[in-house]
């Protein structure tokens, strides 16, 4: 009989004889994917949502496309650098949490030294990009945000206090300042109101997620508020921060002199945020389990809320 497979039959694939080129491409793809994973792209997206609208508000319309692109590139590099350093410093925590154990460092796809060098290169590139293509004030603000996130939040607050995300969240409030100064070259009251919106929004957003992964944080010995405090008390604090968030968001109306669109969107989305926060509080006071609390409903809405408020701040000047 012939050694060839019969018509319609398939020859078995010898995986051990996979072409070297295919294996190399697969390996390269894995490595590139691991380095991209270190930068936490989804978090970077959220930072851009608060940077670009601040540029539209500062410009009173559409800012220079070149300036927007330069600011986005520099901002992405800066955020990526901070996230890489966070992955390096928190790799022991990530190994113990189900949500994070598949990140590149816990699964040894990238070594700590290589990741540290990668983060440093990104940080230098971010500072130069913002300084040379935008302005040095914006570059300095981005550098300060990274230093705060790495030195104050990651190294000091995260493992020591349940207020970690309250004060550590300040690092995530810098993008509106960076966006504003990219356009104007100076600071003003309006970007600080945007800064405050993100500051008061961060605890409800993060604590809702921490409810969902409370056991993970407890196993990693990270004192997130839902780990160290009863659910009703945490939900009450989420409610308080939500109320303040909405109040601060409405303050942008007189401070920045916006038109009718922004306060309308801020009021409607704020009402929805307060409703979801109140519902979480009601469920928590009924003594429901973590799953029955449905904290991810609030978490997902907080993402939508922030995006809608900032988009409204960007679009509003175009209607005046």
pTM flag (> 0.85): yes
Distance between CA 149 and CA 117 in Å, rounded? Answer: 18
Yes or no: say if 193 and 82 are a contact pair by the CB < 8 Å rule: no
Q: What does CATH list as the number for 188-320?
A: 1.20.120
Q: Does domain 36-185 have CATH number 3.20.20.100?
A: no
Q: What is the pLDDT of residues 170-219, one digit of tens each?
A: 999 999 999 999 999 999 999 999 999 999 999 999 999 999 999 999 99
Domains 36-185 and 188-320 share a fold: no
Q: What is the DSSP letter of 89?
A: H
Distance between CA 312 and CA 214 in Å, rounded? Answer: 34
Rg of the chain on CA atoms, in Å:
23
Q: What contacts 86, CB < 8 A, 6 or more positions away?
A: 40, 149, 150, 154
Q: What is the DSSP letter of 157?
A: I
Q: What is the mean pLDDT of residues 82-90?
A: 97
pLDDT band at 47 (very low <50, low <70, confident <90, very high): confident
The string of DSSP letters for 228-280 reads HS-HHHHHHHHHHHHHHHHHHHHHHHHHHT--SHHHHHHHHHHHHHHHHHHHH
Q: What is the pLDDT of residues 126-181, one digit of tens each?
A: 999 999 999 999 999 999 999 999 999 999 999 999 999 999 999 999 999 999 99
- Burial of 57-93, coded b for 16+ CB within 10 Å and e otherwise, reads bbbeeebeeebbebbbbbbbbbbbbbbbbbbbbbbeb
Instruction: Please state the domain extents for the chain.
Output: 36-185, 188-320
């Amino acid at each position: 009989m012939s050694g060839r497979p019969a018509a319609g039959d398939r020859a078995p694939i010898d995986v051990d004889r996979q072409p070297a080129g295919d294996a190399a491409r697969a390996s390269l793809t894995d490595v590139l994917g691991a380095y991209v994973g270190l930068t936490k792209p989804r978090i970077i997206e959220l930072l851009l949502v608060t940077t670009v609208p601040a540029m539209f508000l500062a410009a009173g319309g559409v800012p220079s496309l070149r300036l927007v692109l330069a600011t986005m590139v520099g901002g992405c590099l800066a955020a990526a650098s901070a996230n890489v350093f966070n992955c390096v410093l928190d790799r022991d925590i990530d190994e113990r949490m189900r949500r994070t154990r598949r990140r590149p460092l816990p699964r040894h796809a990238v070594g700590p030294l290589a990741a540290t060098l990668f983060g440093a290169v990104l940080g230098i590139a971010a500072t130069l990009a913002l300084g040379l293509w935008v302005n040095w004030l914006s570059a300095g603000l981005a550098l300060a945000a990274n230093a705060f996130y790495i030195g104050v939040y990651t190294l000091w607050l995260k493992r020591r206090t349940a207020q970690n995300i309250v004060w550590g969240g300040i690092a995530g409030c810098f993008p509106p300042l960076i966006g504003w100064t990219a356009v104007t070259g100076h600071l003003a009251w309006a970007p600080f109101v945007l800064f405050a919106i993100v500051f008061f929004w961060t605890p409800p957003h993060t604590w809702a997620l921490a409810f969902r992964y409370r056991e993970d944080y407890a196993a990693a010995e990270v004192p997130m508020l839902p780990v160290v405090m009863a659910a009703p008390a945490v939900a009450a604090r989420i409610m308080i921060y939500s109320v303040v968030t909405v109040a601060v968001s409405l303050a942008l109306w007189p401070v920045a002199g916006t038109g009718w669109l922004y306060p309308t969107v801020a009021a409607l989305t704020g009402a929805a945020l307060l409703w979801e926060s109140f519902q979480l509080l009601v469920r928590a006071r009924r003594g429901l389990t973590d799953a029955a609390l449905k904290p991810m409903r609030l978490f997902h809405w907080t993402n939508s809320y922030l995006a809608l408020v900032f988009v409204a701040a960007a679009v509003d000047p175009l209607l005046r």
